[in-house]
Structure 1
Amino acid sequence: MEVSGRPIVLVVEDEPLLRMNAVDMIEAAGYEVLEAGSADEAIEILEKRNDVRLVFTDIQIPGSMDGLKLARAVRGRWPPIKIVATSGRVHVAPSDLPDGGKFVPKPYTSTQIVGLLQEMLV
Structure 2
Amino acid sequence: MGTDVTRRKTILVVEDEPLLRLAAVSDIEDAGMIALAAPDGSQALAILASQASIDFLFTDIDMPGAVDGMELTRSVHRRYPAIKVILVSGLLSTPQIFSGTPVPFYAKPYDMAHILHHMQLS
Same fold? TM cut 0.5:
yes
The equivalent residue for 1:76 is: 78
Query: Which of 86, 89, 95 is the equivalent residue of 2:88?
Result: 86
Aligned residue for 1:95, secondary structure, equals coil
Residues 86 and 105 in structure 1, CA contact (< 8 A), matched pair in contact too: yes
Identity %: 38
2:105 is matched by which residue type in structure 1? F
Query: Which of 8, 11, 16 is the equivalent residue of 2:10?
Result: 8
Aligned residue for 2:109, secondary structure, equals coil
Query: Which of 97, 109, 112 is the equivalent residue of 2:111?
Result: 109
2:22 is matched by which residue type in structure 1? M
The equivalent residue for 2:3 is: none
Query: Which of 36, 43, 54 is the equivalent residue of 1:41?
Result: 43
Farther off after superposition, 14-23 or 101-110? 101-110
Report Cα offsets for 1:80-100 as digits up to 9, x if no partner.
Answer: 000000001112247247713
Farther off after superposition, 108-117 or 29-38? 108-117
Residues 68 and 97 in structure 1, CA contact (< 8 A), matched pair in contact too: no
Residues 68 and 96 in structure 1, CA contact (< 8 A), matched pair in contact too: no
Moved over 6 A (4+): none
Is 1:56 the counterpart of 2:69? The answer is: no
Equivalents in 2 of 1:106, 1:34: separation in Å? Answer: 20
**Runs of 5+ unmatched residues, structure 2:** 1-5
Residues 86 and 104 in structure 1, CA contact (< 8 A), matched pair in contact too: yes
Equivalents in 2 of 1:96, 1:66: separation in Å? Answer: 15
Aligned-residue RMSD, C-alpha? 1.8
1:118 is matched by which residue type in structure 2? Q
Q: Under a length normalisation based on structure 1, what TM-score does the superposition of the two structures give?
A: 0.88
Aligned residue for 2:20, secondary structure, equals helix
Q: Under a length normalisation based on structure 2, what TM-score does the superposition of the two structures give?
A: 0.88
Residues 27 and 33 in structure 1, CA contact (< 8 A), matched pair in contact too: yes
Determine which structure has more spread, i.e. the larger CA radius of gyration. Answer: 2
